Structure formats: structure tokens, C-alpha cells
């Protein structure tokens, strides 16, 4: 995209009042051009093709397609478009989800007009801006030990789910149409990965950590 002329900015938020406030916020900056707005993820995807923004301010919590999924789809289709998340929520899972989806920056809605304008300029130049709360959440997520069961395979989760329903190895083998030795191998892996001494303990750990649903 051309570096000449103002940066083309689009707003995505499901609250019209927030969008109009942001428009007024940013229109005072000569190097930023508000090219359009969208009230949903679906509308944003349609508008990007038409408006060709360079930077998108993206709300996260919206009905329909949420902001993270909208970001992922936009970045997939238009890799030159940078997405700056602007939300009220600094929760760790939202921060990691948005950044994994391809957002370059994560800001909270209490940001000042100057800070927001600077974040847009930095995003346009390919540089990231993180609200202190978002940075803290990101550090916390990377320094936490992985949750129990994070390394279970899909098949091991299936076996674990059947174990939770009280199936023995023979019944699990029949249910999954595999050999008993294969089931035994999976059960052994499950106990090892969950650091469980027994099938009962493995099931308890799995339910406690949301790996499987309670039968």
C-alpha cells in the first residue's frame, strides 16, 4: 500500500455511539482518513473489499463473528491490512486469541486520542503497541506451565471420554474398532501425560481441567 497520503482507517464496533465517538476522536489528525465503519464482523468482511483500509480498529466482543475471528479472516484474505484491537477487556485469553489471529496491537478503550493515533501510525509501519494490561496478560500466559492434558491426541481424548463413562479396555476397543493392545497403549499414554496413578485419577484430573465433559 502507498505511503503517500493519509492512512486509511476503518472502525469495527457493534456500538454506533462508540464508532461515532472514535470518528470524532480521530478526524482531528490530518494524517488519518476515516474511510468507513462496520457494526459487525460480517459487515467488516464485506466492507474491507470495498473500502481497502490500511489499518482497522477492531472491537473484540461482538455478536455473530467475534473480533478475533474477523481479524483472522481479514488477515488471511488481506495480509497488508493491519488490525489494531480496541476493546474494554484485558483478559489473558482474549489477548492471546487476538494476537494469534493476527492483530498487530491490543489497546483498551480508555486510551487517549494521541495514543490511539500513534498506535495506528505504528501499525501502519508494521510496529506493535500493547496496552500495559495486555502486555502483562501476555507475559503471564507465556510463563504459566501448560495445562494438564494439553499434549493429549484426539484419539487419547476419545479414549479418556469413554473411560469417564465407565468403559473398560475391551468395551473401548469395541467402541473404537481397534485392538485391545492399542487401547492399553492409549490408556498408558493418558496416565503418563496426566501424571495419574490410576484410571479414576486420570478421569478426575481431566474433568477438573475441562479436558472432557462430565458424562
Burial 84-111 (b: 16+ CB within 10 A, else e): bbbbebbebebbbbbbebbbbbbbeeeb
The whole-number pLDDT of residue 11 equals 97
Domains, the chain, ordered by start? 7-143 (3.40.50.2300), 154-208 (1.10.10.10)
- pLDDT (0 to 100) of residue 150: 84
Q: Would you mind telling me the total number of residues written for the chain in this entry? A: 215
Please list the rounded mean pLDDT of every run of 10 residues in the chain (215 residues): 79 95 94 96 95 97 93 97 95 91 96 96 97 89 79 93 95 95 95 94 92 76
Beta bridge partners of 12: 38, 58
**Furthest-apart CA atoms within the chain: distance in Å:** 72
C-alpha cell at 214: 462430565
Task: Give the global pTM.
Answer: 0.68
* 180-193 and 154-164 helices, crossing angle to 10°: 90
| Whole-number pLDDT of residue 137 | 86
Contact between 18 and 59 under an 8 Å Cβ cutoff? The reply is: yes
**pLDDT value at position 1?**
45
pLDDT confidence of residue 215: 61
Distance of CA 19 to the CA centre of its chain: 22
pLDDT score, position 2 = 45
Amino acid at each position: 500500500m502507498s505511503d503517500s497520503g493519509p492512512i486509511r482507517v476503518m472502525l469495527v464496533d457493534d456500538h454506533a455511539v462508540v464508532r461515532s465517538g472514535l470518528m470524532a476522536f480521530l478526524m482531528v489528525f490530518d494524517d488519518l482518513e476515516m474511510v468507513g465503519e462496520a457494526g459487525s464482523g460480517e459487515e467488516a468482511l464485506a466492507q474491507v473489499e470495498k473500502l481497502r483500509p490500511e489499518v482497522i480498529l477492531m472491537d473484540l466482543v461482538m455478536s455473530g463473528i467475534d473480533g478475533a475471528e474477523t481479524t483472522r479472516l481479514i488477515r488471511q484474505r488481506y495480509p497488508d491490512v493491519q488490525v489494531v484491537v480496541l476493546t474494554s477487556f484485558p483478559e489473558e485469553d482474549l489477548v492471546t486469541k487476538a494476537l494469534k489471529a493476527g492483530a498487530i496491537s491490543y489497546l483498551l478503550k480508555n486510551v487517549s486520542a494521541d495514543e490511539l493515533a500513534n498506535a495506528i501510525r505504528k501499525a501502519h509501519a508494521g510496529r506493535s503497541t500493547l496496552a500495559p494490561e495486555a502486555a502483562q496478560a501476555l507475559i503471564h500466559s507465556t510463563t504459566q506451565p501448560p495445562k494438564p492434558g494439553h499434549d493429549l491426541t484426539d484419539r487419547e481424548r476419545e479414549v479418556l471420554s469413554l473411560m469417564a463413562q465407565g468403559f473398560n479396555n475391551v468395551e473401548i476397543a469395541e467402541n473404537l474398532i481397534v485392538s485391545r493392545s492399542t487401547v492399553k497403549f492409549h490408556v498408558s499414554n493418558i496416565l503418563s501425560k496426566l501424571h495419574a496413578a490410576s484410571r479414576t485419577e486420570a478421569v478426575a484430573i481431566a474433568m477438573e481441567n475441562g479436558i472432557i465433559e462430565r458424562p
